[in-house]
A and B are shown apart, each in its own frame.
Chain A
Amino acid sequence: MMTTRILEWLGRIYVWLLLAFLYLPIIIMALMSFNASPFYQLPFEWTTDWYASLWQNDQLISATWNSLKIAVITTIICVVLGTTASLALFRYEFRGKKLLQALLFPPIAIPWLITGTAMLIFFFGVGIGRGLFAILLGHVALALPYVIVVVSARLQTFAPELEEAARSLGANQWQVTNRVTLPWIMPGVIAGGLFAFAVSFDQFVVSYFLSTPGQTTLPVEIYAAIRKGFTPEINAVSTIIIVVSMALMLLTARFFKFGGEK
């Protein structure tokens, strides 16, 4: 009795420590975005000035838009391409399939620094150069394997007889996919999409290599701003992003139980 009690308490403390470790820096940053002092000085003095001045910072705002646009487009492209590729790998046997599947994993493990350098050289070689389009291409290439891996994992739990049953009932390939297969793998597709979004939105290294001064993304812009001199506007923009992405995650988790319903 006693020991279970103690273990229970230890477990609770452990979880709280873990949460503190994850969230404390973020919470402090969020608080500081509302603090009047630009140098983290206490006592805390409430202000929304940093948000107001953020609104004036055209560079930061345009970088944020770039990041959002690129992340959304990357997500859409990767979800469509990744899901179709996973379905093809699941349904068809073809020469070189094993090799293709094996080659999908290494890009995930290759350091982004190296991928970024390779892309920079390649894009220059073929004449694409740097800029937002190059960044988009780079992000799609980075995120695609994640989507394929996540959707394929979900497909492993799909019973192929379901597709056969649907076909025996007269459904064509399109109806089978739309009505039977996609509903089942949807949690995987959503999770894959979130991964793709995160990979793109968080991406610093590859974006840094491929951006030009006018055409850049938020992480690169923040990095540049910090190097020039830190301003609490950074705290403000970070806080907004954190709130939005956490809301997005919670919503998704609410509507799609990961791991899947029966």
Chain B
Amino acid sequence: MAGVTVSNVSRSFGAHKALDDVSIDFADGGFYALLGPSGSGKTTLLRQIAGFDFPDTGRISIGGESVERVPVEKRRIGMVFQNYALFPNMSVADNVAFGLSVRGEAKTVIATEVQRALDLVQLGKLGGRKPHQLSGGQRQRVALARAIVTKPRVLLLDEPLGALDKALRVDMQIELKRIQREIGITTIFVTHDQEEALTMSDRIGILRDGRLVQEGPPEEIYDRPKSEFAATFLGDANIFRGDATGNGIRLADGTAIAAGVGDRLAAGAKASCAVRPERIRIATDAGTTDSNINTLKGQVSKRIFAGNNSTYFVDRAGQTLKVIVQNTGADLLAEGQDVVLRWSPESTVLIAAG
């Protein structure tokens, strides 16, 4: 077991910078999600850590040991690929045994270790099958068992659940998390799926165009995004753009929005405010006017009922805002209704325009 440190790593393919000065500390035993849109460099970063590819500049160390000159097969990592990459000519048990077998372990040791790994992923009885006789979820489990049976220092997963359907995906998320806790292995997990990143990891790094945009625990990134991109990529956000006023921003029409979270910006600078849809309360009456609360008037243009909650799209001064309301049994608002939106400055994040 070991932590991984990536320092100032850059990697270009031709003129294209796939990684641009990325530095991340992956804590020992932690579960770290790398999140980002397609082509943002997630796989490229993972491949540098695995040793399939090498940085142009920068350093990578595993367990404090610099690995620039260490080839993949000596790095003692476990890797799970998006398409499983199971050896088609070998049985499930032989697939799992592969890492121990190339290392020259004794047959009896291999047999016990393989059985233990298969039991851990709940496939104890399927050792004799061939990969093509398994379902997608089962193949994924075999890939996982194969990767951890050698007791690697780091587990690298590249969109391991990408090929599974939604229900199976959720099952596997829970399973994966359980196994990761059980063996306490440092895990780096690449995903497209923000929900997956939020629920599974204790830290998230968001990549965009090869740069690390923001990094931290899920709550922190969700509650204090540092850019519009981070705010809208991880979760939903309403974005207001205007000029900084010292304690918020002023919109083009003169409306002031107070922000209690985020950077302090010099008055007059271009800035935005981000508000999560579930932080906004929606009502039909003006109610008490508290000057500390952000208040906007608008009109419901669309309503989507989703059982446990409803989403309202509210039009206001040419902008459509999104509001999510828990289903508490109260009457739903009608489309076309005039409404008042309220949310506190503590729910408003000030972001420098960038």
**A contacts, CB < 8 Å to B:** 159, 161-162, 164-172, 175, 179-180, 183-184, 262
In angstroms, Cα B98 to Cα A211, docked, is 51
Q: Does any Cβ of A come within 8 Å of B87's Cβ?
A: yes
B270 within 8 A of A: no
Instruction: Produce 1/0 per residue, B68-102, CB < 8 A to A.
Output: 00011110111101010111110000000011001
Cβ B85 vs Cβ A165 within 8 A: yes
The residues of B that contact A165 with a CB separation of less than 8 Å are 79, 81, 85-87, 146
Provide the residues of chain B in CB contact with A180, threshold 8 Å. 87
Q: Is B50 an interface residue (CB 8 A)?
A: yes
Contacts of B305 in A (CB 8 A): none
Q: Is B229 an interface residue (CB 8 A)?
A: no
Question: Measured between alpha carbons, how far is A183 from B81 in the docked complex, in Å?
Answer: 21
A170 touches B89 (CB 8 A): no
Which residue of B73, B76, B132 contacts A171 across the interface (Cβ within 8 Å)? B73
> Nearest Cβ distance between residue A64 and chain B, in whole angstroms?
38
Alpha-carbon gap, A183 to B132, bound state (A): 16
**Residues in B whose Cβ lies below 8 Å from that of A162:** 85, 87-88
B interface residue count range (under 10 / 10 to 19 / 20 to 34 / 35 or more): 20 to 34
Interface residues of B in 227-283 (CB under 8 A from A): none
Closest 4 CB pairs of A and B: A169-B99, A161-B85, A168-B79, A165-B85
Q: Does B16 contact A (CB under 8 A)?
A: no
Instruction: Classify the secondary structure of A's interface with B.
Output: helix
The reply to whether B102 and A171 contact each other, CB–CB distance below 8 Å, is yes
- Partner among B83, B85, B86, B99 whose Cβ is within 8 Å of the Cβ of A170: B99
Given the contacts A175-B102, A179-B98, A168 and B50 also touching, CB distance less than 8 Å: yes
Checking B73, B86, B132 against A167 with a beta-carbon cut-off of 8 angstroms, the contacting residue is B73
Q: Please measure, in the bound complex, the distance between the C-alpha atom of A175 and the C-alpha atom of B50, giving whole angstroms.
A: 19
Q: Does A169 contact B146, Cβ atoms closer than 8 Å?
A: yes
Chain A residues, Cβ within 8 Å of B85: 159, 161-162, 164-165
Distance between Cα atoms of A183 and B147 in the complex (Å): 21
Interface pair B150/A262, CB less than 8 Å apart: no
**Are A169's CB and B98's CB within 8 A?**
yes
A183 surroundings in chain B (CB, below 8 A): 89
CA A161 – CA B132 in complex, angstroms? 17
**Which residues from chain A contact B89 at a C-beta distance below 8 Å?**
183-184
Minimum C-beta distance from A182 to chain B (A): 10
Task: Give every chain B residue within 8 A of A166 (Cβ-Cβ).
Answer: 87, 98, 102
Shortest Cβ distance from A164 into B: residue:
B52
**B146 to chain A: which residues have CB within 8 Å?**
165, 169
B76 touches A170 (CB 8 A): yes
Q: Which chain A positions have C-beta within 8 A of B79?
A: 164-165, 168
B275-299 toward A: CB 8 Å interface, digit per residue (1/0)? 0000000000000000000000000
Verify A262–B88 contact, CB threshold 8 A. yes
**Complex Cα–Cα for A21 and B30 (A):** 71
Whether, in the assembled complex, B103 has its beta carbon less than 8 Å from a beta carbon of chain A, the answer is yes
A161→B83 contact, CB < 8 A: yes
A167 to B71, CA, bound (A): 9
Distance to closest chain A CB from B92 (angstroms): 14
Name the residue on A nearest B96 (C-beta).
Answer: A169
The answer to whether B73 touches A170, judged by C-beta atoms less than 8 angstroms apart, is: yes
Closest residue of A by beta carbon distance from B99:
A169
Interface core residue of A159, A167, A171, A180 (most chain B CB under 10 Å) = A167
Q: Which of B52, B71, B88, B102 contacts A184 (CB 8 A)?
A: B88
